[in-house]
Amino acid sequence: IGSLLAPARADGSGIDFEFAHTCFADRNIVYREGKTDYSDLVGTLVMDALDHGHIKIVKEVCTSLDIYSDLRTYHAEMMGVDLANVPAAPPPAEAAGQQVQKKRKGSKSKQTVKTMANWTDIKRLNRLRPTRQVAAGVPLLRVQTISPTFNYLNLAPQHADAPEPPSEPKFGYPDGLYTSPFFCAREPLQPDAIANLSLLPAFFTRLGQLLLAHEVQSKLALPAQLHSVREAITSSSANTDLSYERLETLGDSVLKYIATVMLFVAYPDAHEGILTSRRGRIICNANLFTLSTRLKLPPHIISLVFAKRD
């Protein structure tokens, strides 16, 4: 785990936290005065200020572009689309009873913005925008967003959203697909390290679940395997790979049978109606909750949904 959090020292004696600190301390923009060749950025990670600081991988250096180039037309040509044949965006509906959103003063839509320089006005990053003289010769970077973290704890088939019906293509400003050395900072981690780090939230969550199961197993001296104990304390609301629903179906029947046999043997002369009434009081949810509280089991129930941010 340590190798995922910080690099190890050369002699293998521990973790080089000093090197890790220097890596994360540098968050300056990648632009350097007088530099025009940014091919060394291809395959590396950057933090894109134009896209809320999301980490992206640089796929290509577009040497023929700068922030004042017509990026909308360039991207359409790369996609093999003739903008002259793309229908214009329809005007906002003004039907009775339908509220029309008022555009913010000075704002522009993706259909009208053509250059990255104009896009900085919408993103309110015009303070970072250089002049034409400074921006000349500094290429744009085609970037790709790192895939979001997957919930590795839920091995059940993911319910995909219903596919949306095809619509008319809209080729506005390609937001999030390009950035500039003026608007991004280099991320010292490698793409493989990001993929490994994405496993950590699920790893520590599963580790916490196993520790809870082990504590229940030890407290109650259960002969069951740790996997079965974890299943017995996992609610379906946790949206993980298992839950106690199947065990609950079996457990209700076993509990009812044991309570019936115990009462039948303990009260051989009692009327069947009395036995049924007493059995109901034994297996009712209120009594089971009281017993579980006495055993301090509620804090060990796994019911929260896996959240990567937590």
The pLDDT tens digits for 214-248 are 999 999 999 999 999 999 999 998 888 889 999 99
Report whether pLDDT(103) > 80. no
Give the mean pLDDT of 162-189: 73
Three-state secondary-structure class, residue 141: strand
How far is residue 122's CA from residue 132's CA, in Å, rounded to a whole number? 19
Name the one residue in this structure whose structure tokens are 């991988």.
57
Give the mean pLDDT of 55-63: 92
Read off the pLDDT band of 288 (50, 70, 90).
Answer: very high
Q: What is the pLDDT of residue 94?
A: 45
- Which stretches of 101-244 are DSSP H helices? 116-122, 132-135, 191-197, 200-219, 226-232
Report whether pLDDT(151) > 60. yes
Could you tell me which residue, 146 or 39, shows the higher pLDDT? Answer: 39
**What mean pLDDT, rounded, does the chain reach?**
80
Give the mean pLDDT of 71-95: 67
Q: What is the pTM of this model?
A: 0.57
Read off the pLDDT band of 51 (50, 70, 90).
Answer: confident
If we measure between CA atoms, which residue out of 154, 245, 243, 168 comes closest to residue 205? Answer: 154
Strands of the sheet containing 45-48, edge to edge, are: 178-179, 140-145, 54-62, 45-48, 184-187
Strands (E), 114-197: 140-145, 178-179, 184-187
Report whether pLDDT(275) > 80. yes
Three-state secondary-structure class, residue 143: strand
